[in-house]
Structure 1
Amino acid sequence: MNEVIEVLVVDDHPMFRQGVVHSLGQEPGFRVVGETASGEEALMLAQALLPTVVLLDISMPGWNGIVTAERIAMACPATVIVMLTSSEDKDKLLAALKAGARGYVLKGVSARELAQVLRAAVDGEVYVSPSIAAEMLVSLTQRKAPDPLQELTDRERTILSLIGLGRTNREIGDELHLAEKTIKHYVTNILQKLQVRSRVEAALLASRGPSSGS
């Protein structure tokens, strides 16, 4: 890890890019070997210079950062790609990681923090800015909670509502003109789909109706 980390900085805002170049130049163990405002030129420079790290903005005219990351990852697999962006869009974060980026850093970090992230990325770690990582986790956990009642067929819902009224399998069978054995199979399916152990739990879940809080 004593080797100098060579960085190519890619950002279409000249003042911001120059600020990053200057800041990294002050950090021990770093050398900025190139800078550009375009993704197309970034690929050519990456192939010519073979930097340790390419620091990429996402929103650029022409090739955006995602496309550029994909092209550089294919052409220079040994080069580490880190996105430095103001975008907190979770889809862009996922697309960047899928394209081969090993870091997703929001603009506004200090030069010291950026240097730490780049060192970690070169060491093989994946880094995502904490604020967007936390948001991502929240949205993923929320998405993972579909309403189990939606999994039931119309017939299963009818049987569940009759269970809720306290009917036995035989009574439900008589009402629906089905064999008691058939009702028993339906009940087993219902319990499995709702991930509950008993008719009572199933009836309680049904009485609550669709997910509360919607």
Structure 2
Amino acid sequence: MPENIRVVVVDDHPIFRQGVVHALGSAGQITVVGEAGSGEAALAMVQELMPDVVLLDIHMPGWDGLVSTEKISAACPATAIVILTSSEDRDKLLKAFKAGARAYVLKGVSSQELAKVIRTVAAGDAYVTPSLAAHMLLAMNSGADADPLEDLTEREYRILSMIGSGMKNREIGDELNLSEKTIKRYVTNILQKLQVRSRVEAAVLASRYLSDKGN
């Protein structure tokens, strides 16, 4: 029998937060293990509980959702972050994915759809609300950064180099003393940041860039 997906819900509005918790309570194989009202509290909670998924509002006092996403994804890369917000701002959408989010969902989504998104990111995939997907693709295709690798952290860059040398996730995990699941999350982040679909494309992109830079 599959294990329940462990979730932390983060929103500074208690009534909305409790509504999300209640909705997920009947979703099946999803367990809310914690609630937080700020990004600062969320980081401490995630580090303690190590949930599979964090549902995170983008507008909060103190650390907003973007800052919180960056800090949580850096500290706990095995935890998938879902931005749950009322904002349809395209810039925030792109910044959220660059910060490490794996899904961007608008508030008002049905409980069934939210549960589906949680299962999707827990399995290692990404999700964007369909109404925002076209905006995201347009922005991604409108122009690329001069250095496609500049958004990678030092560890992500090292993992990308290992991918380029032909190492599998388990081998990379053994080398870095991290679990295979954690490496898979890192790889997902790398693919999102480089805007490619597979680890092979990511390795080719890195190889071409480094080759051009050396000339």
Shorter-chain TM-score above 0.5? yes
In 1, Cα distance between the equivalents of 2:46 and 2:140? 35
Contact 2:94–2:136 (8 Å) recurs in 1: no
2:24 alignment partner, SS class: helix
2:4 pairs with 1:4: yes
The aligned counterpart of 2:105 is 105
Distance 1:69 1:138, change over 3 A: closer
In 1, Cα distance between the equivalents of 2:100 and 2:136? 19
Contact 2:39–2:60 (8 Å) recurs in 1: yes
**Residue type of the partner of 2:59?**
S
**Residue type of the partner of 2:113?**
E
Counterpart mapping for 1:1-214 below 5 A? 2-138=2-138
In 2, Cα distance between the equivalents of 1:41 and 1:92? 22
How many residues were matched structurally?
144
**Residue type of the partner of 2:77?**
P
Shift, 1:42, TM fit = 0.2
Q: Percent identity, aligned pairs only?
A: 62
Q: Which has the higher contact order (CA 8 A, sep 6+)?
A: 2
In 2, Cα distance between the equivalents of 1:58 and 1:107? 11
2:60 alignment partner, SS class: coil
Contact 2:12–2:60 (8 Å) recurs in 1: yes
Deviations 1:159-194 (A, max 9, x none): xxxxxxxxxxxxxxxxxxxxxxxxxxxxxxxxxxxx
Q: Which structure: larger Rg?
A: 1
1:124 alignment partner, SS class: coil
**Residue type of the partner of 1:22?**
H
Deviations 1:129-164 (A, max 9, x none): 0101123335566779xxxxxxxxxxxxxxxxxxxx
Unpaired runs of at least 5, structure 2? 145-215
Unpaired runs of at least 5, structure 1? 145-214
Q: Normalised by the size of structure 2, how large is the TM-score?
A: 0.64
In 2, Cα distance between the equivalents of 1:139 and 1:43? 30
